[in-house]
Amino acid sequence: MEKQRELVLVATEASAPLARKVAAQLGVEFSEMVRKRFADGEVFHAFPCNVAGRHLIIVGATHDDASHQEVLDLIAGGGFWNAASINVVIPFLGYSTMERVKPFSREIPKGITRTRQIFLARPGFVAFIDLHSEAVLHAHSGEIGTLHIWTDRLVVEKINSLGIDDYVLVSPDYGFSKRVARLASLLQCPHTAADKDRYDTDKTIVGQVSSVVRGRTAIVCDDMIRTGGSIIQTACRCLDAGATEVYVMATHLVLAGESRRRFAASPIKKVIGSDTYPGVESDDLLDVYSVAPLVAEILSSHFNY
């Protein structure tokens, strides 16, 4: 209990629901930031308690510009008020697909540049959940502890809870096939990958899927669902190849634009994912599990209590 009193757990406004679950799992009090918004749009923040000499934990997805800036403000505030250490958990990293640029494209690699902004704010430790690419972990000079938290255990537990007897895991492209192969090894089930080509920013074409799905339930796995286009195409190719039904599973349920309508109109039985992306909850379409137990376990190990 003495070590637990040394911890102060806060969150960005959008990630507060997840942070409350993490606090409950850790057995610490969740500290709600004091916030006010002025008429000109400026935002006031204050810590609700004294953080000097205590270990500050900040939980915050950077899914939009305001939340990204809030993470930076909270880190800087912890340093200003003399926190003993500043520890950040990024459940979902915005712009994570922009970690590389094509030669001569003049594109800004925001996956790297925005992650570097977080590191430049001088936290001592930053953990990310199911990154699209681990390249962003190295966007600092080696003075900051980083950790990539994989949700494999939670995914395996969730799939086992579905009660499906004969299933195959399907990656929507070869880029994610290593992760799917790892999950398939843990689940002791077959796996395959679809052929996918991207021809525009949010547009892809999915070719074919192996006949290994024939007569089985296909579970299409990815790290995130944004518009859902390639996932739905992959699901349809699975059915074309003889799958009996299709589930979809992804850690980060962004579900931008008309994606929910597309999924509702698709033959997909259920969309399964975590609560890393703010505002996502279980309903008729979504089956959402929480990463809070895993995050709490990581933090408990990090603080050695």
Quickly state the pLDDT bin for 174 (edges 50, 70, 90): confident
Looking at the fold, whether 140 and 258 belong to one and the same domain comes out as: no
Query: Percent of the chain beyond pLDDT 90?
Result: 79
Contact 174, 153 (CB under 8 A): no
Residue-wise pLDDT tens digits, 39-81: 999 999 999 999 999 999 999 999 999 999 999 999 999 999 9
Quick one: which of 214, 175, 170 has its CA closest to 193? 170
**Is residue 138 situated within a structural domain?**
yes
19-33, 39-53, 130-144, 193-207, range with the lowest pLDDT: 193-207
Distance CA 12, CA 92 (A): 12
Looking at the fold, whether 106 and 158 belong to one and the same domain comes out as: no
**Is residue 58 situated within a structural domain?**
yes
Residue 218 has pLDDT above 50, yes or no: yes
Looking at the fold, whether 75 and 167 belong to one and the same domain comes out as: no
Looking at the fold, whether 157 and 145 belong to one and the same domain comes out as: no
**Is residue 284 situated within a structural domain?**
no
Looking at the fold, whether 203 and 229 belong to one and the same domain comes out as: yes
Quickly state the pLDDT bin for 99 (edges 50, 70, 90): confident
Looking at the fold, whether 230 and 250 belong to one and the same domain comes out as: yes
Looking at the fold, whether 194 and 130 belong to one and the same domain comes out as: no
Token couple for 113: 């540049």
Looking at the fold, whether 165 and 262 belong to one and the same domain comes out as: yes
**Is residue 97 situated within a structural domain?**
yes
Token couple for 7: 């911890």
Quickly state the pLDDT bin for 97 (edges 50, 70, 90): confident
Distance CA 243, CA 195 (A): 17
Residue 203 has pLDDT above 90, yes or no: no
For the chain, first and last CA: distance in Å? 9
Q: What is the pTM of this model?
A: 0.92
The answer for residues whose C-beta is within 8 angstroms of residue 269's C-beta and 6 or more apart is 245, 246, 247
The CATH number of the domain holding residue 113 is 3.40.50.2020
Please, what is the angle between helix 177-187 and helix 152-161, to 10°? 60
Token couple for 142: 């080696």
Length of the chain: 305
**Is residue 280 situated within a structural domain?**
no
Going from the C-alpha of 23 to that of each of 1, 13, 19, 68, 198, the distances in angstroms are: 14, 15, 6, 21, 40
Can you give the pLDDT at residue 208?
A: 57
Looking at the fold, whether 167 and 125 belong to one and the same domain comes out as: no
Quickly state the pLDDT bin for 305 (edges 50, 70, 90): confident
Looking at the fold, whether 19 and 115 belong to one and the same domain comes out as: yes
**Is residue 36 situated within a structural domain?**
yes
What is the count of structural domains for the chain?
2
Average pLDDT, the chain: 92
Task: Convert 63-92 to b/e letters by CB count within 10 Å (16 or more is b).
Answer: beeebbebbbbbbebbbeeebebbbbbbbb
Please, what is the angle between helix 292-302 and helix 152-161, to 10°? 150
What does R_g of the chain's alpha carbons equal in angstroms? Answer: 20
* Mean pLDDT value of segment 110-130: 95
User: Dihedral angle at the C-alpha atoms of 82, 87, 90, 95, nearest 10 degrees?
Assistant: 60
**Is residue 270 situated within a structural domain?**
yes
Quickly state the pLDDT bin for 98 (edges 50, 70, 90): confident
Looking at the fold, whether 159 and 240 belong to one and the same domain comes out as: yes
Can you give the pLDDT at residue 199?
A: 39
Can you give the pLDDT at residue 200?
A: 46
* Mean pLDDT value of segment 242-267: 95
Looking at the fold, whether 189 and 176 belong to one and the same domain comes out as: yes
Quickly state the pLDDT bin for 136 (edges 50, 70, 90): confident
**Is residue 281 situated within a structural domain?**
no
Domain span at 8: 2-149+293-302
